[in-house]
Amino acid sequence: MSPASFIHRYEPAAAPDRAPLLLLHGTGGDETDLIPLGRALSPGAALLSPRGPVLENGMPRFFRRLAEGVFDEADLRRRAADLAGFVREARASYGLAAPVAVGFSNGANIAAAVLLLHPEVLAGAVLLRAMVPLAEPPAADLGGKPVLILSGRSDPIVPAANAARLAGMLAEAGSSVTHEVLPGGHGLMQADLVRAQAWLAR
């Protein structure tokens, strides 16, 4: 079975001791978008980078939304299951260990949904500018999986309280959560790279 369910890019590991990274782009990105970030975050790690299968005004996303910050939760649940299936196929096809998701914005939101709905699929996650994905998530057991959430203090899209609620939700599910609020907005900054690099190196 080949991981043909998503258009994607795969870079094999040059440093097999490093956890593979599952790179999940933001709205309007594609499978090439976060490859440079993945290389910088964990040099030599295997990189698996799918393209979001949903189009919004021609821009790829991982699931539908009804308005900014308002998610189509039925679609999100279905797309999270599809993404979990893709990761399983890719692991079998490429011989990978469970990956650590690195998601930005829309990609971070689907990564959070996969953690809550299909916790066995990911080894952990770096969630950049993530929001609470599901109003009523199932009772998940994240068994100490490490999660780093990096929020922007002046992010116009993700309210600080929402990101804090996500951190609490994941911690309640048993995850080992680190949540940092950085000066800045919704875009990624050097500080995100430095924090995420150090966290992944641990």
Do residues 105 and 27 make contact, with C-beta atoms less than 8 angstroms apart? yes
Task: Give DSSP secondary structure letters for the chain.
Answer: ---TTS-EEEE--SSTTSPPEEEE--TT--TTTTHHHHHHHSTT--EEEEPPSEEETTEEESS-EEETTEE-HHHHHHHHHHHHHHHHHHHHHHTPPPPEEEEETHHHHHHHHHHHH-TTS-SEEEEES-----SS------TT-EEEEEEETT-SSS-HHHHHHHHHHHHHTT-EEEEEEESS-SS--HHHHHHHHHHHH-
Please say if 105 is a catalytic residue. Answer: yes
Q: Which one of the listed residues 42, 49, 105, 151 is annotated catalytic?
A: 105
Please say if 49 is a catalytic residue. Answer: no
Q: Which one of the listed residues 5, 30, 75, 186 is annotated catalytic?
A: 186
Q: Which one of the listed residues 155, 175, 179, 192 is annotated catalytic?
A: 155
Please say if 155 is a catalytic residue. Answer: yes
Active-site residue set: 105, 155, 186
